[in-house]
């Protein structure tokens, strides 16, 4: 569990997210009363490159707590006895002119560049600084405490850096006084076949301006989801005839890029989809294309083979990555929040690409904490913000590079002598002080930097241009029937008893795999009890070890068990969030060996084949149980009722149904097809081509009225504006995943009012999850913490709440 002080220190992701986006709030309308979210623009709204960074930090901590080496906060106060004991020692250190601030955060300077965490041990803190701290807190001879003007740790480090790197002294002033030239929207280009909207013409002009101005070679286009970032970028890519350009996108979006290029451009744009086993190996060929489109996993995989090698005849052989060899004209990261964790392999692989201009596209530039923005700044190699500077000499580097002796390969000084400018100027003060004092100053600097590197417009600001219809969100609450309740209650009692005994023995973390599975089962049971009671006959080699479903974007652990990539990430994240530090290790839910898995490995292909019912895979529940005796569930019937009502009102209304469980989608498919609905499916067991074919069919076939989509595979990056209804069948821990899903239909090209229905079983864990979401949201909104990272994760407290009888 995080300490209160730790929580206090964190800057709010929520606040920043809020700063960036005013999303329609999800209203809990148990009585099915609907709420309209007006998209009328406020009078003064309009395209602007500035982002409002004005969080409500009224209750932020005002004290400058000191961080001890073990991360616990204390003050420099000490007992008089202790002070006397240290008297002599102190005198010796007078000449070192150390101040209490030296002792404040000595380890802050020695960031592990990869994760931003402190890496030095207690032993690394010079003793003199401890003594100096004691001296500072002791009364002087007149009985008063010494009060000297104090420089914070970060300010001192900044001063040290400036003495070696004088150019750093004026960085912020230069940025502040920079002549911000007025940006005039471009004219409609003749190479684009569709009329760009006014804010899009402005967006392209801003991108061109960024490239022409020498300060930043690119930037972040962060318009809200569905406002046409792809089209704006495409217009930029074709604004000169320079090539080759590289687009990196999630697998689900690469075909969409291809389609947009074909649909919206007149010239014969030469494109290559660099993905799959048939991709070209020729550098010359790739360099001949205008635009090369690839996926994060392909790019990451190539980089890994280059850096770490690949096993051939029991030897590791390193292979040059074609993508990293070419010098691209522009590099575009679509859904750039994929690299928000600067230490993940995708991020590292992106940082190492070479190009003249680097662009990040994302509707959610900040999901959890301010630190995530570093990845985007680092990707565009913003100078000096992304660089490390040595405090002892003029050494400056973009890559953290230390040899085995832990000395810099450039200057031989130690890691702790090197400081990331971003960490010292922005991240640390905000983490420490929130939005007061130096924290506020740092927040202003961040805003200034974003003003110069990021363009963000919301749907609300551009409502006049977009002309989007209103969006309504409702919650439909049902209760289990008697049979379901019996199964669920027995499952819940058993699992709660089990959980409580782990709690009593203090072994929650040792049994984390078990608990995670129990939670999943209860969530599945709320969809349909069969998902839990008919699990036995599953071939464990072909299902995810966490959700027991056909694995989506399957990945393998070192112990060779298979998992959905989404499940494994959630499992690892939640365990890490426990932060109990009692030596427990995360175990594989299948074999209980230590769980080691590369979360960013390319998906493995599994041959699941087809069973008796050809439309379903061999492992599908439909092929494992006797469907002639099958009975539906409350959730499925509620969905059926909603869809039937829609169909009787209008036969042309199309709906999207999201669930996290592929087997549940199979059961829904079975039920709805038998009731005459023409259903289409998309999940993470399908190849990009199959996914695209499903999307095309749904978008163009008038009779295809229901699209069943797995939230893990289709929650982001899709355009599904043919539909105007969304049903979210099971609540997710993180509400932002649900918001992303909703925006698949509330986007440009949507002309009908949009209605979202969240389906909840009232007497089940689902209503508790919704309460938990509300609780976390309230915590986030009302406390100083405002760090939304908790949204994605489960604490022991959360588990206690979920299992309370
Ligand atoms: N000027 C325009 N005229 C007509 N359609 C447009 C225009 N601009 C964009 N669109 C369409 O709007 C839809 C949304 O655009 P796009 O997918 O680029 O949004 P996005 O901002 O990238 O969203 P996300 O962040 O969800 O990926 C697409 O179908 C696109 O073809």
Please compute, for residue 591, the number of CA atoms within 13 A of its CA located in the half-sphere on the CB side: 14
Ligand 1 nearest-atom number relative to CA 721: 29
CA of 721 to the centre of ligand 1 (A): 10
Provide the 10 A C-beta neighbour count for residue 800. 13
Report the C-alpha gap between 318 and 299 in whole angstroms.
15
Q: Please state, in angstroms and rounded to a whole number, the distance separating the CA atoms of residues 388 and 648.
A: 64
Of 228, 337, 714, the one to substitute when testing ligand 1's pocket (max ligand atoms within 8 A of C-beta) is 228
Mutate which of 465, 748, 750 for ligand 1? The one with the most ligand atoms within 8 Å of its CB, which is 748
H or E element in which residue 625 lies: none
d(Cα 357, Cα 14) in Å, to the nearest integer? Answer: 30
Both tokens of 609, joined, read 């084949």
| Cα 594 to averaged position of ligand 1 atoms, centre (Å) | 44
Question: Residue whose CA is closest, atom 16 of ligand 1?
Answer: 228
Q: Measured in whole angstroms, how far is the alpha carbon of residue 116 from the centre of its chain? A: 17
Q: What is the dihedral of CA 349, 575, 526, 473, to 10 degrees?
A: -60
Nearest CA residue ID for atom 9, ligand 1: 228
Ligand 1, atom nearest to 748 Cα: 12
Count Cα neighbours of 629 within 13 Å in the Cβ-side half-sphere: 4
Burial 665-675 (b: 16+ CB within 10 A, else e): bbbbbbbbeee
Is the beta carbon of 363 within 6 A of some atom in ligand 1? Answer: yes
- Answer whether 197 contacts ligand 1 (Cβ < 6 A): yes
Ligand 1 neighbour 196 (Cβ under 6 A) = yes
CA of 595 to the centre of ligand 1 (A): 40
- pLDDT number for residue 613: 61
Determine if ligand 1 sits within 6 Å of the CB of residue 654. no
Top mutation candidate among 221, 717, 749, 751 for ligand 1, by most atoms within 8 Å of CB: 749
Ligand 1 and 717: CB distance under 6 A: yes
Three-state SS across 117-154? CECCCHHHCCHHHHHHHHHHCCECCCCCECCCCCCCHH
Decide whether any atom of ligand 1 lies within 6 Å of the 749 Cβ: yes
Q: Whose CA is nearest to atom 29 of ligand 1?
A: 719
pLDDT at 488: 93
How far, in Å, CA of 336 to CA of 233, rounded?
Answer: 14
Q: What is the pLDDT of residue 127?
A: 28
Say yes or no: CB of residue 194 within 6 Å of ligand 1: yes
Measured between alpha carbons, how far is 154 from 137 in angstroms, rounded to an integer?
A: 20
Nearest CA to ligand 1 atom 2: 196
Q: Determine the distance separating the centroid of ligand 1 and the alpha carbon of 780, expressed in angstroms.
A: 31
Beta carbons within 8 Å of 430's beta carbon, 6+ residues apart: 11, 370, 439, 442, 443, 446
Nearest Cα neighbor of 496 from 476, 524, 515, 471 is 515
Give the separation between CA 262 and CA 764, rounded to whole angstroms.
48
Ligand 1 mean position, distance from CA 23 (Å): 18
- 495 Cβ below 6 A of ligand 1: no
Helices (H) and strands (E) in the chain, counts: 32, 22
Please give the distance, rounded to the nearest whole angstrom, from the Cα atom of residue 549 to the centre of ligand 1: 33
Predicted local confidence at residue 339, as pLDDT: 86
Q: Which residue ranges in the chain fall short of pLDDT 50?
A: 1-143, 779-792
Residue 739 DSSP SS3: helix
* Probe residue for ligand 1, chosen from 192, 226, 260, 751 as the CB with the greatest number of ligand atoms within 8 Å: 226
Ligand 1 atom with the shortest distance to the CA of 253: 27
What gap in Å lies between CA 429 and CA 242, rounded to an integer? Answer: 42
Q: Which of 231, 360, 715 to mutate to test ligand 1, by most ligand atoms within 8 A of the CB atom?
A: 231
Whole-angstrom Cα distance, residue 725 to residue 308?
47
Max Cα-Cα span within the chain: 92
Ligand 1: distance of its center to the CA of 265 in Å?
14
Domain ranges, ordered by start, for the chain: 66-150, 154-180+385-463, 193-207+215-382, 481-610
Q: 470-498 pLDDT, tens per residue?
A: 989 999 999 999 999 999 999 988 888 88
Does the beta carbon of 165 lie inside 6 Å of ligand 1?
no
Kindly give the distance from the C-alpha atom of residue 757 to the centroid of ligand 1, in angstroms, as a whole number.
24
Amino acid 16: pLDDT: 28
At residue 707, the 3 state secondary structure works out as: strand
Rounded to the nearest whole angstrom, what is the distance from the C-alpha of residue 455 to the centroid of ligand 1? 16
The reply to whether ligand 1 has any atom less than 6 angstroms from the CB of 156 is no
Burial letters 777-794, b for 16+ CB under 10 A, else e: bebbeeebbbbbbbbbbb
> Is the Cβ atom of 230 under 6 angstroms away from ligand 1?
yes
Find out whether 7 and 60 touch, Cβ atoms under 8 Å: no
Arch. (CATH architecture) of 193-207+215-382: 3-Layer(aba) Sandwich (3.40)
Return the pLDDT at 211.
94
| Residue 156: Cβ within 10 Å count | 18
**Axis-axis angle for helices 565-578, 512-527 (nearest 10):** 130
Cβ(748) to ligand 1 under 6 A? yes
Q: Whose CA is nearest to atom 12 of ligand 1?
A: 748
Bridge partners (DSSP) listed for residue 330: 245, 357
Instruction: Give the per-residue pLDDT at 291.
Output: 96
Ligand 1 atom at shortest distance from the alpha carbon of 744: 26
With a 6 Å cutoff on the Cβ, whether 260 touches ligand 1 is yes
CA distance 487 to 686: 32
Closest CA to ligand 1's atom 27: 717
> Is any ligand 1 atom within 6 A of the Cβ of residue 719?
yes
Model confidence over 706-758: pLDDT tens digits? 999 998 777 666 789 999 999 999 987 766 677 778 888 999 889 999 999 99
CA of 200 to the centre of ligand 1 (A): 10
Would you say the CB of residue 747 lies under 6 angstroms from ligand 1?
Answer: yes
The pLDDT value given to residue 796: 67
Considering only CA atoms, which residue is closest to atom 14 of ligand 1? 226
Question: Which run of H or E residues covers position 9?
Answer: helix 4-9
């Amino acid at each position: 569990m995080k300490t209160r002080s730790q929580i206090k220190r964190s800057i709010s992701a929520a606040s920043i997210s809020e700063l960036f986006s005013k999303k329609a709030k999800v209203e809990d309308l148990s009585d099915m009363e609907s709420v309209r979210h007006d998209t009328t623009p406020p009078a003064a709204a309009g395209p602007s490159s500035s982002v409002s960074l004005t969080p409500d930090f009224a209750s932020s901590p005002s004290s400058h707590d000191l961080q001890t080496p073990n991360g616990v906060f204390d003050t420099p106060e000490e007992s008089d006895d202790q002070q006397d004991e240290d008297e002599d020692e102190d005198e010796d250190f007078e000449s070192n002119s150390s101040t209490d601030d030296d002792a404040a955060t000595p380890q802050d300077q020695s960031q592990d560049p990869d994760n931003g965490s402190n890496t030095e041990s207690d032993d690394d803190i010079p003793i003199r600084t401890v003594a100096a701290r004691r001296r500072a807190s002791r009364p002087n001879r007149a009985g008063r405490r010494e009060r000297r003007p104090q420089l914070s740790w970060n300010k001192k480090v900044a001063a040290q850096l400036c003495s070696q790197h004088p150019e750093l002294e004026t960085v912020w002033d230069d940025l502040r006084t920079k002549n911000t030239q007025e940006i005039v929207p471009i004219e409609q280009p003749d190479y684009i076949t569709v009329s760009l909207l006014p804010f899009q013409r402005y967006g392209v002009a801003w991108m061109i301006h960024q490239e022409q101005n020498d300060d930043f070679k690119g930037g972040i286009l962060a318009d809200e989801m569905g406002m046409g970032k792809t089209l704006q970028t495409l217009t930029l890519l074709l604004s000169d005839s320079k090539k080759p350009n590289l687009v990196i996108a999630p697998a689900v979006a690469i075909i969409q890029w291809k389609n947009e290029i074909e649909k919206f451009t007149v010239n014969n744009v030469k494109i290559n989809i660099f993905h799959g086993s048939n991709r070209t190996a020729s550098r010359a060929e790739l360099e001949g294309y205008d635009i090369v489109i690839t996926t994060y996993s392909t790019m990451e995989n190539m980089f890994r083979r280059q850096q770490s090698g690949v096993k051939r005849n029991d030897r590791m052989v390193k292979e040059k990555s074609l993508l990293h060899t070419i010098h691209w004209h522009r590099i575009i990261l679509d859904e750039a929040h994929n690299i928000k964790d600067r230490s993940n392999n995708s991020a590292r692989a992106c940082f190492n690409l070479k190009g003249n201009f680097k662009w990040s596209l994302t509707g959610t530039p900040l999901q959890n904490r301010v630190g995530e923005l570093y990845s985007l700044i680092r990707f565009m190699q913003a100078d000096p913000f992304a660089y490390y500077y040595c405090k002892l000499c003029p050494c400056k580097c973009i890559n953290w590079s230390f040899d085995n002796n832990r000395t810099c390969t450039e200057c031989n000084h130690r890691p702790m002598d090197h400081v990331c400018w971003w960490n010292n100027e922005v991240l640390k003060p905000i983490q420490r002080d929130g939005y007061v004092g130096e924290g506020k100053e740092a927040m202003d600097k961040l805003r200034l930097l974003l003003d110069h590197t990021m363009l963000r417009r919301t749907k609300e600001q551009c409502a006049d241009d977009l002309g989007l219809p209103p969006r309504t969100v409702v919650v439909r609450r049902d209760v289990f029937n008697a049979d379901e309740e019996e199964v669920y209650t027995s499952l819940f009692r058993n699992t709660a008893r089990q959980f409580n005994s782990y709690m009593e023995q203090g072994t929650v973390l040792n049994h984390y795999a078990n608990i995670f599975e129990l939670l999943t089962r209860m969530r599945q049971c709320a969809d349909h009890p069969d998902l839990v009671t008919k699990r036995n006959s599953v071939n464990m080699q072909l299902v995810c070890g966490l959700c027991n479903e056909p694995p989506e974007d399957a990945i393998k652990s070192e112990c060779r068990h298979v998992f959905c990539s989404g499940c494994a990430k959630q499992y690892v994240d939640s365990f890490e969030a426990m932060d109990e530090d009692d030596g427990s290790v995360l175990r594989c839910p299948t074999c209980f060996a230590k769980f080691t898995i590369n979360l960013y490995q390319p998906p493995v292909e599994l041959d699941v084949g087809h069973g008796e019912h050809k439309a379903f895979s061999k492992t599908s529940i439909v092929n494992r149980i006797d469907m002639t005796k099958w009975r539906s569930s409350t959730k499925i019937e509620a969905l059926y009722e909603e869809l039937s009502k829609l169909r009787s009102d209008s036969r042309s209304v199309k709906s999207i149904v999201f669930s996290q469980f592929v087997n549940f989608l199979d059961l829904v498919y079975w039920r709805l097809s038998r009731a005459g609905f023409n259903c289409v499916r998309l999940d993470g067991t399908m190849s990009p081509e199959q996914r695209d074919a499903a999307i095309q069919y749904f978008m163009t076939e008038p009779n295809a009225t229901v699209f069943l989509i797995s939230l893990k595979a289709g929650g982001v990056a899709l355009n599904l504006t043919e539909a105007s209804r969304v049903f979210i069948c099971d609540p997710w821990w993180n509400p932002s995943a649900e918001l992303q899903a909703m925006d698949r239909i509330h986007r440009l090209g949507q002309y009908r009012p949009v209605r979202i229905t969240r389906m909840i079983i009232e007497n089940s864990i689902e209503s508790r999850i919704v309460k938990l979401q509300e609780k976390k949201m309230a915590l986030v909104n009302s406390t100083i913490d405002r760090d939304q990272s908790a949204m994605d994760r489960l604490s022991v407290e959360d588990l206690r709440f979920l299992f309370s009888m």
